[in-house]
Amino acid sequence: MDATDLQHADLYVNRELSLLEFNRRVLAQATDETLPLLERLRFLCIASSNLDEFFEIRVSGLKQQVAYGAVQRGPDNLTPNEQLARIAEIAHGLVNEQYRVLNEQLFPALAREGIRFLKRSEWNAKHASWVRSFFNRELLPVLSPIGLDPAHPFPRILNKSLNFLVSLEGRDAFGRTTGVAIVQAPRALPRIISIPATHTDGPNDFVMLSAIIHARVDDLFPGMRATGCYQFRITRNSDLFVDDEEIDDLKRALEGELSQRRFGDAVRVEVADDCPPEMRNFLLTQFKLTERDLFQCNGPVNLTRLMAVPDLVDRPDLKFPGFTPSIPARLARNPDVFEVIRKGDVLLHHPFESFAPVVDFVRQAAADPDVLAIRQTLYRTGSDSAIVKALVDAARAGKEVLVVIELRARFDEAANIELADDLQEAGAHVVYGVVGHKTHAKMCLVVRREGRQLRRYVHVGTGNYHARTARAYTDYGLLTCDAAFGEDVHKVFQQLTALGRAGKLKKLLQSPFTLQKAILDFIHREAVHARAGRPARIIAKMNALIEPQVIKALYEASSAGVKIDLIIRGMCSLRPGIGGVSENITVRSIIGRFLEHTRVFYFANGGDEQVWLSSADWMGRNFFNRVEVCFPIEDKRLRQRVVNESLHNYLSDNAQAWILQADGNYKRPSASAGKARSAQLRLLADLCG
């Protein structure tokens, strides 16, 4: 490879394979004995859920490309078919590892703590008696077995639902001997069931729904005998397709697509590992899949459902210790959020600092008679959102409330449609952004009359207006009444709701117009400083880095002598440590208790340091297909806080960090002098009450 060819395929890691490597790092948390046991189980469930979504969206998209005959290659030069082949190899290994960790590590460790998942072979007479009673009372009335014959074709199988393929012998009342039936488990049924203390000896004994159905399957086919019962699950294409050029009502179009999501094309089949070859082949033929799409599972086919276990077990000693997010001192001393903001910008670092001030900001705006208008973007909010309630109250109070709801927030589409209806009924103006561009920016604008002037108050952030994820994701929010900030945010809302050109922004960078170009300019500027002997440094923290032009610019800056440290949680297509290209670049991923979600960009800029926060990762979709904002932290004290808390702190982490190697693999760093340093634990200690 010519080292000067910065577009050579060997310099780029495939995004899909990088995403699978991220999931490998998540799964590794389940094996970490320094973590609380039930939290290790959660990490296993998260890895399983991530893999589900990977097949629903990424694999299904590649399969569609193959079906359409697409031969387009990415920067890594892999065709869709080549990617699918590599994905299959890695994904099968990951699935096998999931079940190995579950069966060889987690289940035994949980059993030692009195948390048992009893197999059928472990049931005693009391267990069997309770299972029979539970089946007859709770399951038999709602299960609908379907014997397959010309009058009973193979049923439509819901995406990710639990099903059983049953082989039978004997004749039924009509003399039929088809020999094969399908049993579908309704989604309303719990997958993990606690055995009452009256029927077991353990303090926390559970049985799987699949085990109960398997044990009592003969009861579903009176007069016949089940010779085999094999659980299976189908993963389907769950990406919604809406033709931006053909629709005239985005909401109505999405409502139509949502009903079909459960029955998209099958992309993966999971079956019990004891399912015989002829039954496996029957399923593959039925769903038009190949051996590459078949995953055999040594345990429940949906590991994600084990996520319920920590909530069913009252063992705080096996979970992360609780914490109380702090309230910044200025807000704690003065409940009037507008007065506090007028005296200076407020920076919030979630989850270590509370999300409550953001809620109070909207609530006070809704109740304040001097507030004339509220404008808000909503991407994900969660159920029973206090912010949505405040917006409803504001609209009912006669304030001008405008909400930009992103209906296409993946897997939150139905919730956002319902949210839009509720806000409209309250009298709020609701729009859905710009067709063809997801509105991913996190902004709230409050217009308040103060004497003879109108003042704009703004909240901008890196994360969603979602109280639950604000306790689980690391994010920043900035509260300010800086006039230029307010004018910029006002202009972005104009772009989202009206027609015409909003004009140049003074301080904010915005996708799809200025953000990518600005990032490229900042990177090139560091290279110029380095060549001139001035301070040059780049530190960037984000979820993903895959945009080829930005990667090429980083390679060029590294070659010019710029030291570049990247903290990338998930996908990273850049290869660090390559001589003559990226030897000045390091890449690390932090996987810990909290999901790293902040986007922080630092540029030394010859000594005139700049720090930016953003809702956008360095991905093509964020730069070109979404509405995003990136904003500077101008207060010197707050800027230093961001650098210390989210950059230097994370670069010193040797407990939860993974270091990307030039070959695309990740390795754990060794703790220096035996001392482990966790960035998240340090923030919990420094910022929480």
Catalytic residues: 440
> Which SS3 state, helix, strand or coil, does residue 134 take?
helix
Do 82 and 9 contact (CB within 8 A), yes or no? no
Distance CA 26, CA 52 (A): 14
DSSP state of 606: G
| E strand spans, 569-676 | 585-590, 595-596, 600-603, 610-614, 626-632, 657-660, 666-667
Q: Residue written as tokens 């004749």?
A: 171
Distance CA 269, CA 162 (A): 11
CB-based contacts of 182, cutoff 8 Å, min separation 6: 145, 146, 148, 154, 155, 163, 164, 165, 166
Query: CA 353: distance to chain centroid?
Result: 21
Do 183 and 152 contact (CB within 8 A), yes or no? no
Position 515, amino acid: L
Question: Smallest Cα–Cα separation from 180: which of 200, 153, 159?
Answer: 153
CB-based contacts of 100, cutoff 8 Å, min separation 6: none
CB-based contacts of 226, cutoff 8 Å, min separation 6: 166, 167, 168, 217, 218
**Cis before 512 (ω within 30):** yes
Position 599, amino acid: R
* Rounded alpha-carbon distances, angstroms, from residue 331 to 243, 363, 476, 645: 47, 15, 16, 20
Structure tokens, 426:
């309250």
Pairing of the two strands 666-667 and 442-450: unpaired
Main-chain phi, psi angles of 232, to 5 degrees: -150, 160
DSSP state of 643: I
CB-based contacts of 143, cutoff 8 Å, min separation 6: 183, 184, 185, 186, 213, 220
**CA gyration radius for the chain?**
27
Main-chain phi, psi angles of 560, to 5 degrees: -85, -5
> Which SS3 state, helix, strand or coil, does residue 449 take?
strand
Position 102, amino acid: L
Which ranges of 1-78 does DSSP label H, i.e. alpha helix? 15-29, 37-53, 60-67
Structure tokens, 312:
């069913």
